[in-house]
Structure 1
């Protein structure tokens, strides 16, 4: 049985300050959602289900990365929030799903039904595709690797909805719990579902691998592309390593795997709508290298790095306006992949929001430690020197080559040279988080997707 990831909307740090969400009637969205979330957790655990609580101090993008780093095949994720409007008469509950996915729409409708059976006083605004939101899409439904839904439990700005949220917390929690259990059971993993040969159920789709049309077709199942299992070898994957990580289906005596599940294994998966084809890329680099190799050349331009920061906050790049230029220059001098260094900076500084143990005035963009015994992490006189120290520290871990510039990294000489040439090898070394390298790699993939390189 899979696990349930549960996130209470808002409460984390956005733009360097804690985001309470909607504020109305002497309370905040974060407070109310955390209270309901905790009741759902208690109810699920009392029924023997494994539920994982997303930390409340994470920003929106950090929440996505945290779930992707800790989830596995068979899990599901839900975020609960409230609506807010300048019109206090607007009310009701909505479940949002990724547009075009008929199965996720059914899951959203089922979740809504379970909630409204417990609290019928909440008006039903329906299950809606995320394209109907003001943003045009929701990263919680699109960027998370496992099936996910986003639920608005009424409008905090409406007095009636707010009263129900505060007075019927347990009923709301029971309704959500019932819906999550139904959703999880509907998505329970069976070994390999079988469809009788010749049954005309699934439509045929094309497959494009590394720019070339593959000779065999895939199938489209509930809006998801499935590809023949034989492609695993052509993509350079080890079948024994993916046996429990991807969804399989047997159709017309051929075993297919869900293409989107391969993203966690380093395969780019996109959809070519005009040609009705799934597009797979097993190596985005123009040379024989790996995406997680620290030494090497980055692929992105200065503008693409700036836009990556702006996708999280349009103004934060102005706090260090030369940061993209400096990372490209300093990394090039030492032969370090500037894409990896820049994404590590985004992870360590929360996309320049800081808010943790690092302070902007320290110019410490890599989370570098000072010499033993110091009460604070390292500080540098300028952004340029701080970035240079970060690049030097990466080179210390990834290479035996000498530095080109004078040492400014206070702990360079204490690193065992060349012990971590790949990102995953920084886990447990640069950070005690065992998923540290995977989190950086996830950001690199996102950078390349947003830059049109993946």
Structure 2
């Protein structure tokens, strides 16, 4: 059988300091994951499985490089993590896999089932594509060269999950070891045939491409010359995975998504469909002052597919964002996606209640610790749009100001999505999360 690489999340040096990960209940994510990892390693070795434990002092990038320098095609790699949420009631375990990879999804299910059989008291949050993570992608799933998954074993911020982890750590380790052993057998059932990768069809921006791609471990790879047609400069992208097969260089297609390339797999025809956002949405993708590209129905479906009850209380929210944003010259796609990030697709769940009609986490004035409230959904959306315009433009408002903090913003300081990070929210990845949500919207609307 192949070998098993296992990494405990965090603990290494990031930005010049030790990264503890989540902190809650007098402990840290790094500490808890290292203790759990050591038990998993012990259990796997007791089963005569070969295990490589990633050193704890490595950064995330160094961890990936360490695995890639040692990994073989029959090996697997797992990173164990604990999650944290602003609400202490959120709990449960999940496993993330690289999006669109059905093989890896099946592998993730093996891992999760193994853990939940040993710890049935742990809620099941399911297996999820890494595009559903807050950042829109997980580098451990995408940049590790061998088959890899990221497992969140629970929420450190939840007292029940934390108590389970600390009191039944061996059961966690046994369950994860069960899943890893099963996964390893799937990847390497004691035989390693010569590489003979199946060919796949490629369609780019609606037209069939003459050259074929290949499938490797469920991942689609495209010929290097096609990347130029998509106007992606690989010389500036050293982390994109490349392989040589029959004297042709191929690139892992999924890794091009963050460069405004849509990746869609049609299993019935074995066709990889590629679309460049620039073809559908010409101009600057992340400019807040610009035009939206979706229809009202696109926004309705996107919201409903991510929260079935979202439109019950706010049935007109897509229409309101399109109308209010158009009035002020703001991209309603961006504003709508920011709302989805802020409210969790209108689930709210934090200290802002639905009846406040505050869809963007806007603060009140006068030193109040409460968030702002608005008399109707339309006025709440209008305030959101006005606040975006304050950041992105020097132009005057078209309507009477309803945003309570409009006058406090330095006008025009953040015309691009990523420039909202550290301003609208202290989260340094805030803009990345909105961009990831925007790409999900365009995939849902088939605009990519």
**What residue in structure 2 maps to residue 310 of structure 1?**
304
Displacement of 1:228 after TM fit? 2.0
**What residue in structure 2 maps to residue 362 of structure 1?**
356
**What residue in structure 2 maps to residue 319 of structure 1?**
313
**What residue in structure 2 maps to residue 43 of structure 1?**
36
Displacement of 1:330 after TM fit? 0.4
**What residue in structure 1 maps to residue 173 of structure 2?**
174
Displacement of 1:419 after TM fit? 2.0
**What residue in structure 2 maps to residue 234 of structure 1?**
229
Alignment of 1:97-116 (within 5 A): 101-102=102-103, 105=106
Which has the larger displacement, 43-52 or 343-352?
43-52
Query: C-alpha offsets along residues 67-101 of structure 1, whole Å, 9 cap, x if unaligned?
Result: xxxxxxxxxxx727xxxxxxxxxxxxxx9999974
Displacement of 1:360 after TM fit? 2.2
Q: Tell me the distance in 2 between the aligned counterparts of 1:257 and 1:356.
A: 41
Displacement of 1:441 after TM fit? 1.5
Structure 2 residue 228 is the aligned partner of structure 1 residue 213:
no
In structure 1, list runs of 5 or more residues that go unmatched: 7-36, 64-77, 81-94, 124-134, 154-164, 187-194
Query: C-alpha offsets along residues 309-350 of structure 1, whole Å, 9 cap, x if unaligned?
Result: 222332232222222211111011111111111111121122
- Given candidates 407, 413, 421, the residue that maps to 2:407 is 413
Q: Tell me the distance in 2 between the aligned counterparts of 1:303 and 1:57.
A: 32
Query: C-alpha offsets along residues 357-413 of structure 1, whole Å, 9 cap, x if unaligned?
Result: 222232211111223522222222222111111101111212222221122222223
Q: Tell me the distance in 2 between the aligned counterparts of 1:106 and 1:150.
A: 11
Whether the aligned pair in 1 keeps the contact of 2:291 and 2:329 (CA below 8 Å) is yes
Q: Cα gap change, 1:185/1:283 in structure 2, threshold over 3 Å: closer, same or farther?
A: same
- Given candidates 68, 84, 103, the residue that maps to 1:55 is 84
Displacement of 1:149 after TM fit? 7.4
Q: Secondary structure at the match of 1:230?
A: helix
Q: Tell me the distance in 1 between the aligned counterparts of 2:335 and 2:258.
A: 21
Q: Tell me the distance in 1 between the aligned counterparts of 2:340 and 2:372.
A: 17
Whether the aligned pair in 1 keeps the contact of 2:362 and 2:384 (CA below 8 Å) is yes
Displacement of 1:237 after TM fit? 2.3
Structure 2 residue 288 is the aligned partner of structure 1 residue 301:
no
In structure 2, list runs of 5 or more residues that go unmatched: 11-29, 40-52, 59-79, 142-147, 155-163, 186-191
Displacement of 1:41 after TM fit? 5.1
Displacement of 1:215 after TM fit? 3.7
Structure 2 residue 379 is the aligned partner of structure 1 residue 385:
yes
Whether the aligned pair in 1 keeps the contact of 2:98 and 2:129 (CA below 8 Å) is no
Q: CA RMSD in A?
A: 4.5
User: Under a length normalisation based on structure 2, what TM-score does the superposition of the two structures give?
Assistant: 0.66
Q: Secondary structure at the match of 1:268?
A: strand
Displacement of 1:112 after TM fit? 7.3
Whether the aligned pair in 1 keeps the contact of 2:97 and 2:129 (CA below 8 Å) is no
**What residue in structure 2 maps to residue 89 of structure 1?**
none
User: Under a length normalisation based on structure 1, what TM-score does the superposition of the two structures give?
Assistant: 0.66
- Given candidates 328, 333, 340, the residue that maps to 1:339 is 333
Displacement of 1:58 after TM fit? 7.0
Q: Tell me the distance in 1 between the aligned counterparts of 2:206 and 2:306.
A: 31
Whether the aligned pair in 2 keeps the contact of 1:97 and 1:105 (CA below 8 Å) is no
Q: Tell me the distance in 2 between the aligned counterparts of 1:59 and 1:443.
A: 24
**What residue in structure 1 maps to residue 94 of structure 2?**
79
